[in-house]
């Protein structure tokens, strides 16, 4: 049967067909939908972990127990999971273990565009790279087989265009007859103390060498000879752009990017006059090909930054571009917090208090944008708290009071807890705001250990965040309603003044939350145009439901208007109106 | 069957249902026997940012994104976004647009005006231009929320995919209780001159 599947759906399908028993992940664009699709297969136990390190450890445990296990994450997730990954390479696996990592060249929704292929090489782990959804499915199956055959974890690298692109996939059946999981002790292989690890490391090197030799005859590494004047080595989505733009060029399509099939590369290089490497981001293949003593052109033509497109590839090779209409000058349309979003009031207050805000990653990072403009740093998940501690170590006593860390519930549980531990332990006077909207909103509203539900939608323990903070030693814990501007501002001001660590936790849910009993829409608000003086105070919160309607006489005058279809009745704008012009209809 | 690749761009604002429309189009193309690829960026689509979805079909499709300047049809759900994506179209390409304006943040906040004369600007460059009031037509089909389906119906006339495949795709992708309205909405768009 044929279906149109996204790369992520196809990876989930591939795991199902491969007999995978456990899938574990922490969400992250563009990888999130893989686990949201493994839940369609009841044979797979799928779960969200609090972070990528735990997710990989769960998969490792499942593999050591004898089951096939899948772990998925976005590229930066591997930074968090790197510790277990590097030693997993030494232990190898029992049940096949596949780690899917989805890169984001162009940073469509990421803070950097690191190239995960380097991790495969650095950690000494094989890596496959599919070029469309059909290959996503097939390569996932193959990755499980290779993992067991070579006793190594196998990484599968996707990217935004593969994970979120859709194409036609031929579905297959789930394999049967895999050995049943069962405890089995094998300390020499699984206990990585120096004595054991010293024995394992040479085995890893030998396996990689064998795999590289075997890879030259694997069908996923495919030499396609056409016009022999140009030969292009490429992989992943770049292969599609090469075929689109230079249909006559000979190509060596690599399905495995680590280790490289040296023999096949040498043979291909000898069959073409001029050799090019087409790859996004780092010169990963190029440097290795050059180290083989083969002359190849790559990054001289293709940027180290951003993603490739057919047009960019055409200009890299000096090919003619089709004539296109010039870009129109138009107002931009950046994303915005939703109408009624409980994060908005907090940033409004932080802006008024002129706080120095060490920020974090989530929907609330949009608090950086005008008119709220109340975020001063954003580095990686969990960084806000440690960085606030660091800032207070160097600035004057008066400036210390301005330092506020802002972090979401999912991010706090991901890697924020350790930062708070340190803040209390080392007695930083900074203030931490935990924006608890009861969900992981940014990546599409996933449940987390404080939301009360699992990925499978079963009820679960919900972490009590105030109690957790208390047990870390925080003495000043305040709960605020972020939709009450006066309360939020007052509590923030009080805690910023305090010369000890304090934590403020907001208590209103995300407006997009899926369970209908959690978020309730209030009565819709409207502007009384008789009373509206056009002072623009309500525009300062940047709510998409509020629109400035110019008088139309060319003057700066006008009035505010609330779109009844968008308003959630959060009441925040009413609190800003000094003229009592806003109220429920 | 047409052997050439057909390149369709669906553009608008996050939350307008563009992804569903492009799914229906892809499904119909597959049912018609074509190879199909579709691509878009999900990340921020829920938060009111610009959304561009690429659908390509034909004998064999390589790139998942439409090569710049090779779009055959631009299918716009919102006027400013339609205008923004014109550089993706080939000269002489077709534009089917919804007569709807959604103000971006800078306009909502009174810092800029929503640009004037967009329809004329589009028409000047791409004479093969069809403008519809999707909301109003969907309303007459029974539900304003089926505006996308009206537009899809209008686009369907320009594509080499038989009506039966569109109907099958609608049946598959639209929830059964909304199916009747959507069929009607599709037909209204398809019959619009
Ligand atoms: C290491 C890492 N993993 C995953 C992500 C993707 N990501 C960005 S923000 C976020 C979660 C945000 O949730 P929360 O902190 O609850 O804030 P909300 O979006 O709900 O406001 C995730 C998973 C990332 N940027 N880095």
Closest Cβ–Cβ partner in B64, B69, B112 for A324: B69
- Where residue A421 falls among pLDDT bands split at 50, 70, 90? very high
Strand-pair category, A127-128 with A256-258: antiparallel
Task: Round to whole Å and give the CA distance between A99 and A157.
Answer: 9
Torsion, Cα A449 A452 A455 A456, to 10 degrees, reads: 150
Whether B30 and chain A come into contact, CB under 8 Å, resolves to: yes
List, as one string, the DSSP characters of B82-143.
HHHTGGGEEEEEEEEEE------HHHHTTSSPPPS-HHHHHHHH-SSEEEE-HHHHHHHHT-
- Residue A200 confidence (pLDDT): 98
Contact A230, A273 (CB under 8 A): yes
Token pair recorded at residue A193: 């103390």
- Residue B41 confidence (pLDDT): 82
Decide whether any atom of ligand 1 lies within 6 Å of the A51 Cβ. Answer: no
For the stretch A7-36, pLDDT in tens is 999 999 999 999 999 999 999 999 999 999
Mean pLDDT, residues A433-446 = 96
Question: Closest ligand 1 atom to the C-alpha of A448?
Answer: 16
**Residue B11: DSSP 8-state:** E
Q: CB–CB of A324 and B27 under 8 A? A: no
Closest Cβ–Cβ partner in A132, A167, A336 for B47: A336
Contact A278, A302 (CB under 8 A): yes
What chain B holds in terms of domains, given with CATH numbers, is: 6-103+116-191 (3.40.920.10)
Helix, strand, or coil (residue A211): helix
- Where residue A132 falls among pLDDT bands split at 50, 70, 90? very high
Q: CB–CB of A331 and B107 under 8 A? A: yes
Closest Cβ–Cβ partner in A323, A444, A550 for B69: A323
Kindly state the helix (H) or strand (E) to which residue B9 belongs, with its residue range.
Answer: strand B6-13
What chain A holds in terms of domains, given with CATH numbers, is: 2-215 (3.40.50.970), 222-316 (3.40.50.920), 344-506 (3.40.50.970), 525-584 (3.30.70.20)
Q: Ligand 1 centre and the CA of A414: distance in Å?
A: 8
Contact A428, A393 (CB under 8 A): yes
Q: Ligand 1 centre and the CA of A8: distance in Å?
A: 19
In A, which residues are within 8 Å of B36 by CB distance?
A: 4, 166-168
- Looking at the complex, report in whole angstroms how far the Cα of residue B153 sits from the nearest Cα belonging to chain A: 21
Closest Cβ–Cβ partner in B44, B47, B86 for A328: B86
For the stretch A524-577, pLDDT in tens is 999 999 999 999 999 999 999 999 999 988 888 999 999 999 999 999 999 999
Q: CB–CB of B35 and A168 under 8 A? A: yes
Residue nearest to atom 5 of ligand 1 (CA): A28
Token pair recorded at residue B149: 């389906």
Whether B113 and chain A come into contact, CB under 8 Å, resolves to: yes
- Looking at the complex, report in whole angstroms how far the Cα of residue A334 sits from the nearest Cα belonging to chain B: 5
Task: Round to whole Å and give the CA distance between B100 and A526.
Answer: 22
Write the ipTM. Answer: 0.96
In chain B, residues 133-162 whose CB comes closer than 8 Å to chain A: none
- Residue B92 confidence (pLDDT): 95
Task: Round to whole Å and give the CA distance between A158 and A283.
Answer: 17
* E strand segments, A217-320: 222-224, 227-235, 249-254, 256-258, 274-278
- Residue A585 confidence (pLDDT): 79
Q: Please, which residues have CB within 8 angstroms of residue B176's CB and are 6 or more apart in sequence? A: none
Percentage with pLDDT > 90 across chain A: 96
- Where residue B80 falls among pLDDT bands split at 50, 70, 90? very high
Q: CB–CB of A326 and B87 under 8 A? A: yes
Mean pLDDT, residues A506-510 = 97
């Amino acid at each position: 049967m044929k279906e149109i599947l996204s790369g992520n759906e196809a990876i989930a399908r591939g795991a199902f067909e491969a007999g995978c028993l456990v899938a574990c992940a922490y969400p992250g664009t563009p990888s999130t939908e893989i686990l949201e699709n493994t839940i369609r297969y009841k044979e797979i136990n799928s779960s969200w972990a609090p972070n990528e390190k735990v997710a990989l450890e769960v998969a490792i445990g499942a593999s050591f127990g004898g089951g096939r296990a899948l772990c998925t994450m976005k590229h930066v997730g591997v930074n968090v999971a790197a510790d277990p990954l590097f030693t997993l390479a030494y232990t190898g696996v029992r049940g096949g273990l596949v780690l899917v990592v989805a890169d984001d060249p162009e940073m469509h929704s990421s803070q950097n565009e690191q190239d995960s292929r380097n991790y495969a090489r650095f950690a000494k782990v094989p890596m496959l790279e599919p070029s469309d959804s059909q290959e996503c499915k097939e390569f996932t199956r193959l990755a499980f087989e290779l993992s067991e055959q070579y006793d190594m974890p196998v990484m599968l690298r996707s990217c935004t265009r593969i994970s979120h692109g859709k194409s036609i996939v031929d579905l297959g059946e789930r394999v049967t007859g895999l050995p049943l999981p069962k405890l089995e002790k094998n300390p020499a292989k699984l206990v990585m103390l120096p004595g054991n690890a010293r024995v394992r490391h040479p085995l890893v090197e030998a396996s990689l060498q064998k795999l590289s030799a075997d890879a030259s005859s694997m069908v996923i590494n495919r030499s396609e000879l056409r016009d022999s004047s140009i030969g292009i080595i490429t992989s992943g989505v770049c292969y599609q752009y090469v075929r689109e733009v230079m249909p006559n060029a000979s190509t060596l399509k690599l399905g495995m990017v680590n280790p490289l099939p040296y023999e096949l590369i040498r043979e291909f290089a000898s069959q073409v006059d001029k050799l090019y490497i087409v790859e996004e981001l780092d010169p990963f293949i190029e440097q290795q090909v050059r180290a083989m003593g083969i002359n190849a052109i790559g990054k001289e033509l293709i940027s180290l930054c951003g993603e490739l497109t057919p047009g960019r590839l055409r200009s890299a090779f000096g090919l003619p571009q089709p004539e296109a209409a010039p870009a129109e000058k138009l107002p931009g349309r950046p994303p915005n917090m939703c109408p009624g979003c409980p994060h908005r009031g907090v940033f409004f207050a932080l802006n008024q208090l002129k706080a120095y805000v060490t920020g974090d990653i989530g929907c609330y990072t949009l608090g950086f944008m005008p008119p709220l403009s109340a975020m001063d740093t954003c580095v990686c998940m969990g960084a806000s708290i440690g960085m606030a501690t660091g800032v207070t170590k160097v600035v004057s006593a008066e400036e210390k009071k301005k330092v506020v860390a802002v972090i979401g519930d999912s991010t706090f549980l991901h890697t924020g807890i350790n930062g708070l531990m340190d803040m209390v332990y080392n007695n930083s006077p900074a203030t931490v705001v935990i924006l608890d909207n009861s969900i992981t909103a940014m990546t599409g509203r996933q449940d987390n250990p404080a939301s009360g539900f699992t990925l499978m939608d079963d009820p679960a323990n919900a972490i009590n965040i105030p109690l957790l903070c208390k047990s870390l030693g925080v003495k000043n814990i305040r709960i605020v309603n972020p939709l009450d501007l006066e309360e939020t501002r007052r509590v923030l001001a009080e805690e910023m003044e305090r010369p000890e660590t304090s934590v403020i936790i907001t208590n209103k849910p995300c407006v997009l939350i899926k369970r209908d009993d959690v978020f309730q829409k209030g009565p819709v608000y409207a502007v009384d145009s008789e009373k509206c003086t056009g002072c623009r105070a309500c525009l300062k919160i940047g709510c998409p439901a509020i629109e400035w309607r110019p008088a139309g006489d060319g003057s700066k005058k006008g009035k505010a208007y609330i779109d009844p279809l968008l308003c959630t009745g959060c009441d925040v704008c009413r609190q800003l109106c000094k003229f009592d012009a806003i109220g429920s209809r | 069957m047409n052997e050439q690749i057909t390149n369709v761009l669906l553009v608008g604002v996050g939350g307008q249902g563009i992804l569903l429309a492009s799914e229906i189009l892809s499904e119909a193309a597959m049912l018609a026997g074509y190879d199909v690829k579709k691509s878009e960026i999900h990340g921020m689509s829920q938060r009111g940012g610009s959304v561009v979805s690429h659908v390509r079909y034909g004998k064999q499709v390589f790139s998942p994104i439409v090569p710049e300047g090779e779009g055959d049809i631009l299918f716009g759900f919102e006027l400013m976004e339609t205008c923004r994506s014109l550089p993706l179209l080939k000269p002489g390409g077709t534009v089917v647009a919804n007569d709807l304006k959604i103000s971006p943040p800078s306009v909502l906040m009174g810092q800029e005006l929503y640009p004037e004369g967009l329809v004329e600007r589009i028409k000047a460059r791409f004479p093969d231009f069809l403008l519809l009031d999707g909301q109003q037509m969907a309303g007459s089909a029974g539900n304003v929320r089926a505006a996308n389906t009206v537009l899809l119906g209008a686009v369907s006339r320009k594509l080499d995919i038989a009506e039966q495949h569109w109907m099958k795709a609608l049946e598959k992708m639209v929830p059964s209780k909304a199916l009747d309205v959507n069929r009607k909405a599709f037909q209204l768009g398809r019959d619009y001159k």
